[in-house]
């Protein structure tokens, strides 16, 4: 399955945190968790292998469990060399190079500096000669602080064994005052406590291992736990489910009705290790990327430990969905007609999917019936990669269906076939999610030669703002005859989210979407592509000017 770059939700410290920094004027102090604290770690994490090869192997295992590579690998970049831009409402955060390159990576970091970064969220260096260089908590040091010292050193040994890659970090594009790292001090004082999780002394090694993999390495709560107004995770609602981009990370607590407590362990292990099944569906989006690169690569005994911890040791979280919308019956009926005509051919008339593991089921699929209706909406707006290699892809219907039609289909699949979701999707919800999405793939060499615009989450002097939700992929696979309709759909979607956009910026957005597709056209010279791009721009102007 083609990998999607994960888009983890960055923590967003607010202006109040800046006031705390200068008002309190104190430093966050952390205690060092070491192998001496045996109760709160599984036995395997308490001593580092003495053999260098075994230490590196342990580090590789831990890096895989922590899913480090996808976040630290930008589109088209060498593994672990950074360059992925994470979106936040306050600008873009780029991930750094963590190969052992001495100039642009971590090749000069000492053991202490590396441990302090993972355990305390503080990078080498300082700000304003006073404040430590606090890491933005988009880097999940709030979870990695639970790692044992020997395991952190094993991770460093593995990263140090990689081939160094010279890759200068892409500058962050955070807005003031969020681009000032001292602002993070107030957030840390309020929401960050370093050190291990406190495990139940009665747990056996399997449960300790499942807790360690889930809480410290897998940092599952970063996506599956709701956040407060300052975007810190709410501990009392751990694993209750939370929005992530235009999807929803569902409840994975031990609750038997709303979480995974009612799943069979075999189904949960299949979901995490074997790409799912036709009982509970398959992972997709950021979750699919995680299972591809992380949990599917772990020993199945580890995944069984994770499942046991989630299903029996986490606090049950019961969060009732929103009330059914007015006119739900009419929405259901319209959605049934649309589903039958456009979706049943792959997902089945009764939502059973298509086997073996070609198209996931919608009936009995907890991601479809999650607290919020984001998952079916997001899937229809932007499409999804194939479940298996060379399998059928979920096409994007964002340009084909109206907001009302997508809401109707969503309400149908959430309540049909015995599904216990609510018919609570609205056109307004769909319109909102049209403006949320991931960055498009990095420009190819061909696109660079053609001079295609660069994309960033919020735009800038030399970039075009991404309208979100995969809209910049709207021209992929489109024949020339379809270009005007695709252009109209993109114009309408962009204007729906930014009614004040200028004609010049709208033109740049259209070019940003079409140019990379044109660049890949076989058998066309560079001069021919440039001419075709000018013709495209000219043809788009009347469409842009149309009321």
Higher-confidence residue: 517 or 315? 315
To the nearest 10 degrees (0 to 180), the angle between helices 285-293 and 265-273 is 80
pLDDT at residue number 453 = 75
Q: Which of 249, 246, 195 is nearest to 220 (CA)?
A: 249
Q: Cis check for the bond before 177: say yes or no (omega within 30 of 0).
A: yes
The percentage of residues in the chain with a pLDDT greater than 70, rounded to a whole number, is 86
Tens digit of each residue's pLDDT (9 = 90 or more) over 78-100? 999 998 877 666 667 889 999 99
For residue 258, pLDDT over 70 is answered with: yes
What distance in Å separates the CA atoms of residue 273 and residue 213, rounded to the nearest whole number? Answer: 14
Residues in the chain: 547
Rg of the chain over all Cα atoms, to the nearest angstrom: 24
Six-digit token string for 392? 């059928």
3-state class percentages of the chain: helix first, strand second, coil last, to nearest 5: 45, 5, 50
For residue 297, pLDDT over 90 is answered with: yes
Instruction: Provide mean pLDDT across the span 29-53.
Output: 76
Neighbouring residues of 461: CB distance < 8 A, sequence distance ≥ 6: none
pLDDT at residue number 462 = 56
Sign of CA dihedral 534, 539, 545, 547: negative
> In the structure, what pLDDT confidence band is assigned to residue 497 with cuts at 50, 70 and 90?
confident
Instruction: Provide mean pLDDT across the span 330-354.
Output: 96
Three-class DSSP category at 398: coil
Burial class (CB in 10 A: 0-12, 13-18, 19+), 435: middle
Q: Report the chain's mean pLDDT, rounded to a whole number.
A: 85
Q: Helices marked H in 383-525 — which ranges?
A: 403-415, 427-434, 445-450, 483-497, 503-519
What distance in Å separates the CA atoms of residue 137 and residue 540, rounded to the nearest whole number? Answer: 42
pLDDT at residue number 456 = 60
Burial class (CB in 10 A: 0-12, 13-18, 19+), 328: middle
Distances 414 to 342, 376, 496 between C-alpha atoms, Å: 16, 8, 26
> Lowest-confidence range among 102-106, 265-269, 276-280, 507-511?
507-511
Q: How many CA atoms lie within 13 A of 404 on its CB side?
A: 6
Would you say 336 and 412 are in contact if contact means Cβ atoms under 8 Å apart?
Answer: yes
Tens digit of each residue's pLDDT (9 = 90 or more) over 105-118? 999 999 999 999 99
* Centroid of chain to Cα 259: 20
Phi, psi of 186 (to 5 degrees): -60, -40
> In the structure, what pLDDT confidence band is assigned to residue 342 with cuts at 50, 70 and 90?
very high
> In the structure, what pLDDT confidence band is assigned to residue 31 with cuts at 50, 70 and 90?
very low
Higher-confidence residue: 488 or 23? 488
Phi, psi of 7 (to 5 degrees): -125, 85
pLDDT at residue number 383 = 86
For residue 13, pLDDT over 70 is answered with: no
Six-digit token string for 262? 């009612």
pLDDT at residue number 523 = 85
Neighbouring residues of 135: CB distance < 8 A, sequence distance ≥ 6: 117, 121, 122, 123, 141, 184
Three-class DSSP category at 435: coil
Neighbouring residues of 348: CB distance < 8 A, sequence distance ≥ 6: 354, 359, 361
pLDDT at residue number 438 = 36
Tens digit of each residue's pLDDT (9 = 90 or more) over 230-255? 778 999 999 999 998 789 999 999 99
For residue 267, pLDDT over 90 is answered with: yes
Three-class DSSP category at 464: strand
> Lowest-confidence range among 35-49, 257-271, 422-436, 462-476?
462-476
Phi, psi of 456 (to 5 degrees): -140, 165
Would you say 376 and 285 are in contact if contact means Cβ atoms under 8 Å apart?
Answer: no
Q: Where are the domains of the chain?
A: 15-312, 328-434, 445-545
For residue 321, pLDDT over 90 is answered with: no
For residue 17, pLDDT over 60 is answered with: no
pLDDT at residue number 10 = 37
Burial class (CB in 10 A: 0-12, 13-18, 19+), 480: exposed
pLDDT at residue number 4 = 37
Q: Residue written as tokens 């090749």?
A: 107
For residue 11, pLDDT over 50 is answered with: no
Phi, psi of 132 (to 5 degrees): -60, 160
Q: Cis check for the bond before 118: say yes or no (omega within 30 of 0).
A: no
Neighbouring residues of 204: CB distance < 8 A, sequence distance ≥ 6: none
Q: Residue written as tokens 């930014």?
A: 498
For residue 208, pLDDT over 60 is answered with: yes
CATH class belonging to 328-434: mainly alpha
Neighbouring residues of 370: CB distance < 8 A, sequence distance ≥ 6: 241, 248, 250, 251, 421
The pTM (predicted TM-score) of the whole model is: 0.76
pLDDT at residue number 406 = 93
For residue 102, pLDDT over 80 is answered with: yes
pLDDT at residue number 129 = 56
Tens digit of each residue's pLDDT (9 = 90 or more) over 422-477? 999 999 888 888 765 433 333 355 665 677 776 765 555 556 777 776 778 888 87
Instruction: Provide mean pLDDT across the span 389-414.
Output: 89
> In the structure, what pLDDT confidence band is assigned to residue 343 with cuts at 50, 70 and 90?
very high
Tens digit of each residue's pLDDT (9 = 90 or more) over 119-176? 999 999 866 556 788 998 889 999 999 999 999 999 999 999 999 999 888 777 777 7
């Amino acid at each position: 399955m083609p990998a999607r770059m994960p888009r983890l939700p960055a923590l967003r410290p607010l202006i109040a945190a800046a006031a705390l920094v200068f008002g309190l004027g104190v430093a966050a102090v952390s205690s060092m968790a070491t192998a001496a604290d045996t109760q709160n770690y599984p036995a395997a994490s308490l001593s580092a292998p003495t053999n260098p090869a075994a230490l590196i192997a342990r580090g590789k295992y831990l890096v895989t469990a922590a899913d480090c590579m996808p976040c630290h690998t930008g589109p088209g970049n060498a593994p672990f060399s950074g360059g992925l831009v994470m979106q936040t409402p306050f600008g873009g955060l780029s991930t750094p190079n963590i190969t052992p390159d001495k100039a642009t990576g971590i090749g000069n970091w000492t053991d202490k500096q590396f441990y302090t970064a993972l355990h305390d969220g503080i990078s080498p260096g300082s700000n304003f000669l006073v404040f430590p260089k606090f890491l933005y908590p988009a880097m999940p040091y709030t979870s990695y602080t639970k790692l044992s010292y020997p395991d952190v050193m094993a991770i460093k040994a593995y990263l140090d064994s990689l081939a160094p890659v010279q890759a200068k970090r892409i500058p962050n594009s955070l807005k003031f005052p969020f681009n000032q790292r001292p602002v993070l001090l107030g957030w840390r004082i309020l929401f960050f406590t370093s050190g291990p999780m406190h495990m139940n002394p009665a747990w056996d090694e399997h449960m300790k291992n499942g807790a360690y993999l889930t809480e410290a390495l897998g940092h599952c709560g970063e996506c599956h736990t709701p956040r407060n107004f300052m975007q810190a995770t709410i501990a009392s609602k751990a694993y209750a489910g939370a929005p992530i981009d235009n999807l929803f990370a569902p409840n994975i607590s031990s609750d038997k009705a709303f979480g995974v407590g009612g799943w069979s362990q075999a189904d949960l292990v299949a979901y995490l290790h074997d790409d799912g099944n036709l009982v509970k569906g398959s992972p997709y989006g950021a979750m699919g990327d995680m299972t591809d690169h992380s949990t599917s690569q772990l020993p199945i005994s580890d995944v069984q430990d994770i499942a046991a911890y989630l299903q029996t040791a986490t606090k049950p979280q019961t969060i009732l969905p929103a009330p059914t919308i007015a006119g739900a019956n009419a929405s259901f009926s319209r959605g049934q007609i649309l589903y039958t005509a456009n979706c049943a051919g792959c997902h089945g008339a009764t939502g059973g999917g298509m086997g073996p593991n070609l198209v996931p089921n919608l009936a009995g699929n907890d991601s479809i019936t999650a607290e919020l209706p984001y998952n079916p909406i997001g899937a229809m707006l932007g499409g999804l990669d194939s479940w298996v290699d060379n399998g059928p892809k979920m096409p994007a219907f964002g340009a084909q269906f109206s907001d009302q039609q997508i809401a109707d289909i969503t309400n149908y699949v959430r309540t049909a076939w015995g599904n216990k979701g609510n018919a609570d999707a609205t056109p307004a919800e769909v319109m909102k999610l049209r403006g949320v999405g991931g960055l498009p793939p990095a420009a190819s060499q061909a696109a660079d030669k053609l001079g295609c615009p660069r994309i960033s989450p919020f735009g800038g002097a030399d970039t075009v703002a991404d309208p979100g939700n995969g809209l910049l992929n709207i021209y992929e696979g489109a024949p020339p005859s379809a270009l005007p309709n695709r252009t109209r759909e993109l114009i309408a979607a962009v204007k729906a989210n930014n009614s004040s956009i200028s004609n010049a910026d709208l033109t740049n957005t259209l070019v940003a979407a079409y140019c990379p597709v044109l660049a890949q056209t076989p058998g066309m010279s560079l001069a021919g592509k440039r001419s075709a791009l000018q013709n495209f721009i000219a043809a788009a102007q009347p469409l842009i000017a149309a009321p």
